[in-house]
Amino acid sequence: MRCLNCQNEFQGDYCPHCGQSAATRRFTIKNAFSSTLEVWGMGNRSLPRTLWHLFRRPGIMIGEYIDGKRIPFFPPVKMLFVLCVFYALLQPVMERRKDPVQKDIQTEINAHGQKTQAIGKDASEEEREKLRMENTALTVVGFVKDSMEWLQAHKAVQLLCLHSFFMVFACWLFRKSPLRPCTNLAENFYAQVYMSCQLTAMSIPYALIFAPKGSTFDFYPLPSELMLIVLVWDFKQLFGFGWRTTIKKTILLTILSMTALCAIVGIIVAVATLLAGTTGE
């Protein structure tokens, strides 16, 4: 058999020289359709089947993926991006409107610019200092608003950033677990991405059915109690601690992760404030 990619003669299912499958043939409508479905998770590594396992036995499935059973399951990062595309497509159906607070902020920034031009050079030193402080504050608020809007528009990146904090603390808190002791950061990263996929998949029907129109969600539109229950269930199956220990560790994990996230955001805002103040001078 001759490889269509490198022209190497071989026998078997794959070319030993370049790795291309021996089943590679001329394009047809059938295989083009199959390839398109595979991109959206409908091929051999089925996204719906992986979601079914995430709802039925999430921690066990995640553990199997970490332990090396990769072929039956859809890749987690790709799965998260696909689910976020579906979530974004549903936004018009949910009639999500722009946050009124963000509109007020933009109006205030524009009004302040007009006020500054109107006062001009005739302002006293005290008025100039007051305007400079107001300008710094509005610049920082505008920067934060633009950053939040960008993250809302790139849902998968937003969730990966959030679960990166969970990854670090989960690696530390569950390092002596009965089932999988000493999991590394990379393994916890993939575990967290699968958990994010699970929560995102739950968010889609929840947002359509229960969420009020025009509301804005930071991460997931799910109740905090429901997300805590889901995470406890995931960690219980994944690491094998008892229910009481798993609940304590999951609550501590959430507190530490959100505290670290708020601290990082606070540092970024402080740096932006210093830069804006330096520019204003």
Q: Which residues contact 187 (CB under 8 A, 6 or more apart)?
A: 66, 180
> What is the predicted pLDDT for the residue at 39?
60
DSSP 239: H
> What is the predicted pLDDT for the residue at 110?
55
d(CA 39, CA 30): 15
Q: Which residues contact 125 (CB under 8 A, 6 or more apart)?
A: none
Candidates 174, 164, 185; CA nearest to 258 is 164
> What is the predicted pLDDT for the residue at 11?
86
> What is the predicted pLDDT for the residue at 101?
46
Q: How many CA atoms lie within 13 A of 104 on its CB side?
A: 3
Tokens describing residue 54: 């995430």
H helices present in the chain, as ranges? 29-39, 47-56, 58-67, 76-89, 100-119, 125-153, 155-173, 185-209, 224-239, 243-280
Q: What is the pTM of this model?
A: 0.76
d(CA 55, CA 199): 10
Q: For every one of its 281 residues, what pLDDT tens digit does the chain have, with 9 covering 90 and above? A: 888 888 888 888 889 889 888 877 777 777 666 666 666 555 556 788 899 999 999 999 999 999 999 888 999 999 999 898 888 877 666 554 444 444 455 555 555 555 555 555 555 566 556 656 666 666 666 666 776 677 777 888 889 999 999 999 999 999 999 999 989 999 999 999 999 999 999 998 888 887 655 444 568 888 999 999 999 999 999 999 999 999 999 999 999 999 999 999 888 878 777 766 565 45
> What is the predicted pLDDT for the residue at 270?
80
> What is the predicted pLDDT for the residue at 36?
64
The one-letter amino acid at 201: A
d(CA 80, CA 162): 13
> What is the predicted pLDDT for the residue at 127?
59
> What is the predicted pLDDT for the residue at 277?
59
d(CA 206, CA 198): 13
Question: Computed over its alpha carbons, how large is the radius of gyration of the chain?
Answer: 25
